[in-house]
Structure 1
Amino acid sequence: MGNSWITQNLGRWTNDADETAFFERELMHMYAKTYDIKYPELKARLYVPVSNEANPGSTEVNYKQFDRVGKAKLTAPGAVDSPRVDVLGKEFIRPVRLATASYGWHLLEVRQAAMAGRPLETRKSSAARRAVEEVLDEVAAIGAPDFGIPTGFLNSAAVTIDAAAGAWSAATADVIIADVSQMLQNMATNTQGIERINTLLLPDAQWAVIATLPRSAQSDTTVLEFLLKSFPGLQRIEPWYRLTTAGAGGIPRAVAYDLSPDVLTQEIPSEFEQLPLFQKGQNFVVETMATTAGTALYYPRAIRYLDGL
């Protein structure tokens, strides 16, 4: 947004060039600062790779859900009967939805800030950015059924669900390790070893259990440390509060998967942006927005749920 709009329009409300210049400086500073904010507690961007490939003007996103079939075999030199390996795909269409929020100031707020020589309240722009990011995070995690995005990463009907032996809060280390081991073995068996997991996500409470529970009475290694050492392909075990009620019927759910853009992405055609300032009565308003089509799961067999832990 250029400064000309402010110069031309604020001038209708004040003849003070200093006030106009003050507003210009503050707004430009606020715009830049808002884009720099990070929200570490919003985890979807960490756990679901972001794709901005769709055009910002897109109204829908098409993607295919794949299943790898076939496997290689040893053959003699000159053989012509190599086994066929293929990828089967089913097409899905997701609508692109708009996440919006706005912030602004009354004319008197601008005048008072300019008179006092104090900055405009930047928390307004930060709150708008946070509100938009919260929508993106939620849609990536669980979808937006009322807006044509029925599910997300944590509740897809295409992902197989295993059942835990019981609540981890009362379980022994051996029971917890057996739950995780069985989950990983089931994925390897059901996909003939094709799909491998590198990430395990847990509800906050269950993550805290394994982060503090000793492997045994004679060990100073926690269950979390033991799992990472025992399964070489497992690179990270992380908490996510959204998993606390993500399971069927609102029970805790764990997710084991291959964290890779080949497996899943969250579709964000248009990242957060702040539109030009406009006048609404005695107020100056900035609209903000982003667009999302939620999470696309390309290889759901590379993801597995564990409920009831």
Structure 2
Amino acid sequence: MPNKILADALSRTSIFQDASLIQDSSQALAFLTGQLESVETQIYQKKRALLDYEALLPISTSAGQWATSITYRMKDFAGQGQRHSGKGDDIPRVDVHYDTKSIPVISGSIGYAYTFNELRMSAKLNLAIDQDRAEAAFYAYRAHLNQVGLFGEKELTGLFNSPFVPQVQAGVGSWTTATPEQVLKELNEVITQVWTQTKRNSTPNTIILPGAHYAHLASTPRSKGSDKTILQYVRENNIAKAEKNIDIDFRGGIDLDRAGQNQSTRMMVYEKDPVNLAFHIPMPLMFHAPEQRGLELLINGEYKYSGVEFRYPKSALYIDGI
């Protein structure tokens, strides 16, 4: 009823007397609404999941866009010097062994299109439809690489599910029922395990854990009456800090609440170093020239990628069931 009264009042004003301008009260109200509407110039992007792979993984593009596989060679030796009398020819010898490993390179694609009419309309409305769709395609490309880099896909494994990385069960079980002292002890034990299982060659610098567990470390006092949280204390007191003055980077990771065995929670401790591991992207996304097809313009893009290559898998450790 109020809308009808307002519309009837508008119909009696001078600007609405001309029948060519207004046909009924509904149109009158629509006209007023349009005049009073304020349109913000800022267009807001819908929030999407953060893409972590670039922050968590050393990325290599060195293979080149022609690559069909990534091959790396490892060498090891056997033998050790021994006490000798200085006589005879029973001198111990060493030998060197070589091993070759390969992972496939996969092709990927993403594209977008728009019509000439869409371009005309977007120009009138001051919308950068071509740029917006290009940015959307680039995000879609990165979202695919994020999935592959963290969890792999057919033929490929990612950062969080490599079969070569050692895996252990949490000693104290779920952190929700463990004391702060138990959580601290476990954190230091797994940090130390990476250091010792690599014969002190790798010192952890990154720990990724489920978001809820990260928040638990950041908000729980390390002991009753302490002015420091578990997170603050373990950052200052661990073998990486003591040995090399490394400030371990703690991060919350996506989907780690079911990444462990039997879909249990998983934490990962590792030394992020391009010597230890690499995510190969031989050809980053490349858009080709626009192709006219009828009244459409097609922009196709292609890229090449592989899985996460752990050259030294013992530089990492999975801890399940935290």
TM-score class, shorter-chain normalisation, is: 0.7 to 0.9
Gaps of 5+ in 1: 1-38, 73-82
In structure 2, the CA distance between the partners of 1:120 and 1:178, relative to structure 1 (3 Å rule), is same
Q: Indicate yes or no: 2:85 matched with 1:102.
A: no
Offset of residue 118 of structure 1: 2.1
Determine which structure has greater relative contact order: mean sequence separation of CA pairs < 8 Å that are 6+ residues apart, divided by chain length: 1
Alignment correspondent of 1:197: 204
Q: Indicate yes or no: 2:282 matched with 1:287.
A: no
Q: Deviations over 1:271-292 (max 9, x none)?
A: 1222111123321111123211
Q: Indicate yes or no: 2:58 matched with 1:45.
A: no
Sequence identity (%): 26
Q: Distance in 1 between matches of 2:51 and 2:75?
A: 28
Q: Decide whether the 8 Å contact of 1:67 with 1:299 is kept in 2.
A: no
Q: Normalising by structure 1, report the TM-score.
A: 0.76
Q: Decide whether the 8 Å contact of 2:194 with 2:270 is kept in 1.
A: no
Q: Distance in 2 between matches of 1:66 and 1:234?
A: 31
1:165-176 equivalence runs, <5 A:
165-176=172-183
Question: What secondary structure is seen at the aligned counterpart in 2 of 1:169?
Answer: coil
1:71-220 equivalence runs, <5 A:
90-114=99-123, 116=124, 118-121=126-129, 122-145=131-154, 148-149=155-156, 151-164=157-170, 165-220=172-227
Amino acid aligned to 1:179: E
Larger radius of gyration: 2
In structure 2, the CA distance between the partners of 1:276 and 1:69, relative to structure 1 (3 Å rule), is farther
Match of 1:261 among 274, 293, 299: 274
Offset of residue 185 of structure 1: 2.7
Q: Distance in 1 between matches of 2:222 and 2:94?
A: 42
Report the aligned-residue RMSD: 2.7
Offset of residue 84 of structure 1: 9.9
Runs of 4+ in structure 1 displaced over 6 angstroms? Answer: 66-72, 83-88
Q: Distance in 1 between matches of 2:76 and 2:273?
A: 16
Offset of residue 119 of structure 1: 3.6
Amino acid aligned to 2:203: R
Q: Decide whether the 8 Å contact of 1:132 with 1:289 is kept in 2.
A: no
Offset of residue 89 of structure 1: 5.6
Gaps of 5+ in 2: 1-47, 82-91
